[in-house]
Amino acid sequence: MPVPSYIQDINVAKSAPPPVEKLKLEWVYGYRGKDSRNNLFILPTGELIYFIAAVVVLYNVDEQIQRHYTGHNDDIKSLSIHPDKITVATGQVAGHDRREEKPHIRIWNSLSLQTLHVIGLGHFDRAISCIAFSKADGGQHLCAIDEANEHIMSIWQWQRESKLVEVKSSTDTVLACEFHPSERNTIVSCGKGHINFWIWDRTGITKKSGIYEKYDKPRFVNCIAFASNGDVMSGDSNGNIVIWGRGTNKIVHVLPNVHEGTVFTICTSNDGVFLSGGKDRCVIKWDVNYRKLASAKIDEVFGSIRTFGRGPGSQIVIGTTKNNILTGSFETKWTPIVYGHVEELWGLATHPTLHQFITAGFDKNIFLWDALEHSVVWFKSLPESAHSAAFHPNGKIVIVGLCNGRWLALELSSQQIVSSHSDGNEQVECLAFSPDGNSLAIGSRDNMIYVYSVTEDGQKYSRIGRCIGHSSYITHVDWSADGQVLQSNSGDYEILFWNKGNCKQIATTSQLRDIDWATSNCTLGFNVCGIWPDGADGTDVNACCRAPRAHNLLASGDDFGNVNLFKYPCYQPRANCHTFVGHSSHVTNVQFVNDDSKLLSTGGKDTSILQWNVSI
Ligand SMILES: *[C@@H]1O[C@H](CO)[C@@H](O)[C@H](O)[C@H]1NC(C)=O
């Protein structure tokens, strides 16, 4: 690494303080409906409550305000609302190795966001996949199911943080558990090939499995609900709703083929009217006597119906398998209020002058978001999975790098593809325009950087050459402020420098020590080397970014789900930082908005986008 000439000597023992600025989670984009159920409710405050990654979102749609519960340190998998409608229980997966990151349940107050109890640390193995408060006894108990092989069901007196009983619930996947609303000792659970009725008292817990008799046993029983007379309803992969007699494990009635494919969810209300939703994207409203009152179908782009949230009034929200939340009614249309990516997300770029940003994911979706309105400006599907994105400095063109070596220039206003090129056939890892917009660098998985010259309007691209010299895939590039030199990092932790004009490597780095870099996306380099924690393996930090205006801050995203904020320059080894949680999987990208006031971060597998306010 060339050391800038203003550096006289470095005392490696010295410690660098963290910045005075901090990040505050302002907005969470996304919802986890793809592989998680029973996780969308409407609170008496009118707020929607749901989760994605390690954050529980409380979203007041009318006032456009979100609050966040951030007590978890890894993926949240389950959520239950206490009968008091204020207390919330959420369960998470096993995080990293530390004890406090073992799977556990947090019980908290949804008004104050105070954590009341943390239960189950050391008791659970893999994840709390289902959780339910009791109802008939005023909510004194909590039932939880561990995702590990035997799907241990445990019952807790949560206020005392004590486990009363546990039992193996099934060797197959368990998808839901619920306490009966009026029979205090009855719990129903269901999942792959089973529905079980549990009676639990001081002496123990006993199971009766549902008997299908002459009916075709479904491959999956997906959901449970309770009819107003106390009968149990289940929805299954045969598309049937099955009614089980109160207090029995016997079928009293079957509503056959109510949904094509699978019934994913049933949601009851006090008047006995209930809703069902399924793979077929249909929402059906039923009366107490199982007569269809109304039905509707949501648009294909949103996926299937995963779950319903119902408010005290007539409001209904729908969580979908493509991570959207919709609102509407049978009389009107169902329109999205929450959008999200559905697969791993890496591509992120912030607009050069506006508070807008692009995300592009493996799900082949590209979104333009507005960070002030917290809304989607537009979204579009791409021909291939995307891995990277960059704005032209004119703010009118965005480039998306795809996983097959192709890259596209899109015009923001029309969303049309104005240019399309391919460089090799491997993933486009990173993209960057020179500050004047006249050049574009494409860092590829095939170890090369392809350099293009660009017309003023950002519409036409012609290749100048290839920078050949890295022996591993290109992870990041930065341009010099004058657009003449490139620095690049690769998967084997090399830092190389290139002359843009001829694409030749610059071997004598001493002439580069005082170069002014336009950005600090490279995670390896003198001014950023302090972001590497002790014992880091070289791939632990996925991205970093310098505050573009004041150049005083450096943010990084790491494999532990953390977003970190450092002072820039950050050359003191193991510099101190502020660390912020919310993501559950690796943080794949971080970028400040143009005036340094906000930071965006993307979570890889957790598919979430978090927006942070930067302030003192
Ligand atoms: C820095 O990273 C962002 C996000 O991936 C990208 O949009 C931008 O083009 C990158 N800039 C440079 C110079 O690498």
How remote is the CA of residue 582 from the centroid of ligand 1, in Å?
Answer: 23
> Tokens 């929450």 map to which residue?
338
Cα dist. 449→148, 272, 422, 469 in Å? 45, 63, 13, 9
Residue 601: is its pLDDT beyond 90? yes
Asked, as a colleague might, if the bond just before 83 is cis with ω within 30 of 0, I would say: no
Average confidence (pLDDT) over 549-578 = 95
Spatial contact of 319 and 39, defined as CB atoms under 8 Å apart = yes
**Phi first, then psi: what are they for 443, rounded to 5°?**
-95, 125
Average confidence (pLDDT) over 222-227 = 96
Which band of pLDDT confidence, cut at 50, 70 and 90, is reported for residue 558?
very high
Residue nearest atom 11 of ligand 1, based on CA coordinates: 432
Tokens of 559: 């494999």
Average confidence (pLDDT) over 172-186 = 96
Decide: helix, strand or coil at residue 530: helix
What is residue 272's DSSP assignment? S
Residue 536: is its pLDDT beyond 90? no
Confirm whether 501 is domain-assigned: yes
Confirm whether 591 is domain-assigned: no
Confirm whether 424 is domain-assigned: yes
Contacts 24+ apart (CB under 8 A), 284-289: 284/258, 284/259, 285/330, 288/227, 288/228
Q: 450: closest CA among 435, 462, 438?
A: 462
Confirm whether 537 is domain-assigned: no
How remote is the CA of residue 233 from the centroid of ligand 1, in Å?
Answer: 52
Taking only the tens place, the pLDDT of each residue in 266-318 is 999 888 899 999 999 999 999 999 999 999 999 999 999 999 998 777 789 99
Average confidence (pLDDT) over 579-595 = 95
Which atom of ligand 1 is least distant from the CA of 521? Answer: 1
Residue nearest atom 2 of ligand 1, based on CA coordinates: 521
Q: Which of 34-48, 96-110, 179-193 has the lowest mean pLDDT?
A: 96-110
b/e per residue 255-285 (b: at least 16 CB within 10 A): beebbeebbbbbbbeeeeebbbbbbbbbbbb
Which band of pLDDT confidence, cut at 50, 70 and 90, is reported for residue 261?
very high
Q: Residue 99 has what pLDDT?
A: 66
**Phi first, then psi: what are they for 529, rounded to 5°?**
-65, -20
Taking only the tens place, the pLDDT of each residue in 462-477 is 999 999 999 999 999 9
Strands 41-42 and 55-60: unpaired
How remote is the CA of residue 478 from the centroid of ligand 1, in Å?
Answer: 8
Average confidence (pLDDT) over 154-176 = 95
Write out the residue range of the structural domain in which residue 505 sits.
Answer: 382-513
Angle at CA 324, nearest 5°, toward 323 and 327?
150
Q: Residue 97 has what pLDDT?
A: 64
Residue 539: is its pLDDT beyond 70? yes
Spatial contact of 599 and 43, defined as CB atoms under 8 Å apart = no
Residues with CB under 6 A from ligand 1: 348-349, 388-390, 430-432, 477-479, 519, 521, 589, 591
User: What share of the chain has pLDDT > 70, as a percent?
Assistant: 99
Residue 508: is its pLDDT beyond 90? no
How remote is the CA of residue 491 from the centroid of ligand 1, in Å?
Answer: 17
Tokens of 158: 């949560």
**Phi first, then psi: what are they for 604, rounded to 5°?**
-55, -90
Residue nearest atom 1 of ligand 1, based on CA coordinates: 521
Residue type, 14: K
Domain harbouring 494, CATH code: 2.130.10.10
> Tokens 């959207």 map to which residue?
324
Burial group, residue 564, by CB count within 10 angstroms (0-12, 13-18, 19+): buried
Q: 384: closest CA among 368, 408, 367?
A: 408
Which atom of ligand 1 is least distant from the CA of 431? Answer: 9
Determine the number of helices (DSSP H) and then strands (DSSP E) in the chain.
0, 52
Q: What is the mean pLDDT of the chain?
A: 95
Cα dist. 578→437, 560, 588 in Å? 34, 14, 18
Contacts of 203 (CB under 8 A, 6+ apart): none
Confirm whether 259 is domain-assigned: no
- 407, 498, 519: which to mutate for ligand 1, most atoms within 8 A of CB? 519
How remote is the CA of residue 236 from the centroid of ligand 1, in Å?
Answer: 46
Q: 558: closest CA among 615, 601, 608, 610?
A: 601
Q: 19: closest CA among 589, 610, 525, 551?
A: 551
Q: Residue 1 has what pLDDT?
A: 83
CA dist 104 and 500 (Å) reads 53
How remote is the CA of residue 34 from the centroid of ligand 1, in Å?
Answer: 29
What is residue 92's DSSP assignment? E
Q: Which of 14-18, 192-196, 254-258 has the lowest mean pLDDT?
A: 14-18
Taking only the tens place, the pLDDT of each residue in 119-131 is 999 999 999 999 9
Tokens of 616: 């003192």
Taking only the tens place, the pLDDT of each residue in 360-416 is 999 999 999 999 999 999 999 999 999 999 999 999 999 999 999 999 999 999 999
Confirm whether 162 is domain-assigned: no
Tokens of 229: 């007379």
Residue 140: is its pLDDT beyond 70? yes
Distance, first Cα to last Cα, the chain: 32
How remote is the CA of residue 521 from the centroid of ligand 1, in Å?
Answer: 6
Residue nearest atom 10 of ligand 1, based on CA coordinates: 432
Taking only the tens place, the pLDDT of each residue in 61-106 is 999 999 999 999 999 999 999 999 999 999 999 877 666 779 999 9
CA dist 325 and 338 (Å) reads 5
- 591, 593, 599: which to mutate for ligand 1, most atoms within 8 A of CB? 591
CA dist 193 and 176 (Å) reads 13
Q: Residue 413 has what pLDDT?
A: 96
Report the number of distinct structural domains present in the chain.
1
**Phi first, then psi: what are they for 344, rounded to 5°?**
-50, 140
Q: How many Cα atoms sit within 13 Å of 10 on the Cβ side?
A: 18
If one compares 173 and 332, the residue with the highest pLDDT of the two is 173
Which atom of ligand 1 is least distant from the CA of 390? Answer: 7
Which atom of ligand 1 is least distant from the CA of 350? Answer: 7
How remote is the CA of residue 547 from the centroid of ligand 1, in Å?
Answer: 12
pTM: 0.95
Confirm whether 428 is domain-assigned: yes
Asked, as a colleague might, if the bond just before 256 is cis with ω within 30 of 0, I would say: no
Confirm whether 331 is domain-assigned: no
